[in-house]
Amino acid sequence: MSETQGPGFHASSEATRGLAASLPAAVAHALAREGQIHAAATVPGAPAVAAAAATLAANLPARGWGSPAATAHLLRDVAPGLSAGQAGPRYFGFVTGGVTPAAAAADLLATSYDANVQAPRAGESVAVAVEARAAEMVLQLAGVEPGCFRGRSLTTGATASNVLGIACGREWVVA
């Protein structure tokens, strides 16, 4: 077993080699997909979804596949069942997001650093300042005076937001 540095990347050279082997295939796939997004079907169709679902493991394996095999499985077997066109211009359903190239690169860097912005002490990481500045910019974009919103924490989505809200409410009641 290799020693880990949090839930993100492992410190072992095996994990580093796995990432180095997997990342080019994932990037090539993403770039190819991006070049075809204007013509991509908004949904893959029931047969493709069923075929992709049939490749999913029914139980937790005793041992992981490793990065290259897992990436190959995702690209070969799972990706054809995903709704590829939802990021394109012909999808008019619920807007689930979107990303610029800079944001995609930033997401990769954020994942690789796996910074915990909820716990660091002053002077340990600029991650807290980056998140605070991003929150201030979102407030500016929304026309909200930054001083009106002092509780600044960004989350990964609705579930994390709800859990954070429950935790904050609990602290308010208990404190």
* Sequential DSSP letters for 134-174: HHHHHHHHHT--GGG-------SSHHHHHHHHHHHHHHHHH
Looking at residue 123, what is its pLDDT? 75
Share of the chain above pLDDT 70, in %: 83
Give the whole-angstrom CA distance, residue 128 versus residue 109: 15
Count of CA atoms in the C-beta half-sphere (13 A) of 113: 12
Q: How many Å separate Cα 117 from the centre of its chain?
A: 16
**What's the average model confidence in pLDDT over 90-114?**
73
pLDDT digit string (tens) for 28-41?
998 888 888 888 77
Looking at residue 81, what is its pLDDT? 92
Tokens 């180095």 — which residue? 20
Question: Which of 164, 162, 142, 170 shows the shortest CA–CA distance to 151?
Answer: 164
Looking at residue 96, what is its pLDDT? 61
Looking at residue 30, what is its pLDDT? 87
Question: Is the CB of residue 47 less than 8 Å from the CB of residue 29?
Answer: no
Looking at residue 5, what is its pLDDT? 46
- 89-to-41, 45, 80, 100 alpha-carbon distances in Å: 11, 19, 19, 14
**What's the average model confidence in pLDDT over 132-147?**
85
Tokens 């919103």 — which residue? 149
pLDDT bracket for residue 3 (50, 70, 90): very low
Count CB neighbours of 67 within 10 A: 21
